[in-house]
Structure 1
Amino acid sequence: MEEKYSLNKYASIINRFSMQFFDHELSDSQIGAGQYFFLARISEQQGLTAQELAAKGHFDKATATRALQRLEELSYIRREADKNDKRKCRFYTTPKAKPIVESVYAAVEQWNSILKHGMSESEVAVATRMMAQMAKNAYGYISSLIEGDKDGKSSNL
């Protein structure tokens, strides 16, 4: 018999252990699981705004703002006012960030290796597709709830 909450249970376990792993692996850099995503995205695409970063990771604006403030305090990123819209700030990595970004990528690769241990390439591909679909389902449902709240309507999904 299928366990009633098995998908949620295992997703939660993996998420908690992921956070612990990244906090441990990145402890020398003074960043944790909450900031590494933002640093990596800025490194990959210099000049992103806080709103663009939040959207890329499906984070709320407050979470993005806190992570960016921490990275800025550590001098891993810098902000510049947008040339066309002074209300927007664009973020760029600093030279100090380069070894940290390399550590982030190494940690991500190591964690992915740990998660895939004992699985064939085809099993990894299937698991990846299934998790991507579950993430898409979750995003779609929550987005519709938020949109429904904005309109004062309740969702019947």
Structure 2
Amino acid sequence: MDDVLREIGMIARALDSISNIEFKEHNLTKGQYLYLVRIYEYPGIIQEKLAEMIKVDRTTAARSIKKLETEGFIEKKDDHHNKKIKKLFPTEKGREVYPFLRREGDHSEKAALTGFSEQEREEVFQFVQRIRKNIEGDWEAVKKGKKREY
């Protein structure tokens, strides 16, 4: 069996490690930049949707969001219709650091796909997207307490 998931895991860990080192100067660590980028791109997103988008549990998301709020990168605002809902928005500080995060992401993608034709890039994207969609069902089930059958 090909170890596709091992390869994907190594890529993800290497990129995460690079980002944690490069983003240290901005006081962003342990994947917090992922949250900030999504909040910037989807201003007003709620915590639950953000956790689902990034594929983490609510507790992990809450911890990272709290740190981003404490560091002044994001702010929570009440929903106009439902006061129990808190929407997430980047602050000025968060908006200022976004272009750096975007450049890093673009650079990493360019480096990762060096030597690939445009068609190969599209194929890789489609394959990885299919892998993610295949895994999402198990992720949702396990998150709700179900056991996978092997």
**2:13 counterpart of 1:16:** yes
**2:139 counterpart of 1:142:** yes
User: Counterpart of 1:109?
Assistant: 106
In the aligned structure 1, how far is the partner of 2:58 from the partner of 2:2? Answer: 30
User: Counterpart of 1:47?
Assistant: 44
Give the AA of the match of 2:74.
Answer: I
Superposed displacement of residue 12, structure 1: 1.3
Identical-pair percentage: 21
**CA distance change for structure 1 residues 80 and 33 in 2, over 3 Å: closer, same or farther?**
same
Give the AA of the match of 2:13.
Answer: R
Give the AA of the match of 2:85.
Answer: K
Aligned counterpart for 2:116 among listed residues 119, 123, 130 = 119
Deviations 1:62-116 (A, max 9, x none): 1211111111111011111222222221111111112211111001001001110
SS in 2 for 1:83: coil
In the aligned structure 2, how far is the partner of 1:18 from the partner of 1:146? Answer: 25
SS in 2 for 1:87: coil
Query: Contact (CA 8 Å) 1:47, 1:90: kept in 2 or not?
Result: yes
**2:73 counterpart of 1:76:** yes
Q: CA RMSD in A?
A: 1.8
Query: Contact (CA 8 Å) 1:41, 1:53: kept in 2 or not?
Result: yes
Superposed displacement of residue 146, structure 1: 4.3
Query: Contact (CA 8 Å) 1:50, 1:64: kept in 2 or not?
Result: yes
**CA distance change for structure 1 residues 12 and 155 in 2, over 3 Å: closer, same or farther?**
closer
* Structure 2 unmatched runs, 5+: none
The TM-score, its normalising length taken from structure 2, stands at: 0.90
**2:34 counterpart of 1:37:** yes
Aligned counterpart for 1:56 among listed residues 53, 56, 59 = 53
In the aligned structure 2, how far is the partner of 1:93 from the partner of 1:144? Answer: 31
In the aligned structure 1, how far is the partner of 2:18 from the partner of 2:90? Answer: 24
Aligned counterpart for 1:95 among listed residues 92, 95, 109 = 92
The TM-score, its normalising length taken from structure 1, stands at: 0.86
Query: Contact (CA 8 Å) 1:148, 1:155: kept in 2 or not?
Result: no
* Structure 1 unmatched runs, 5+: none
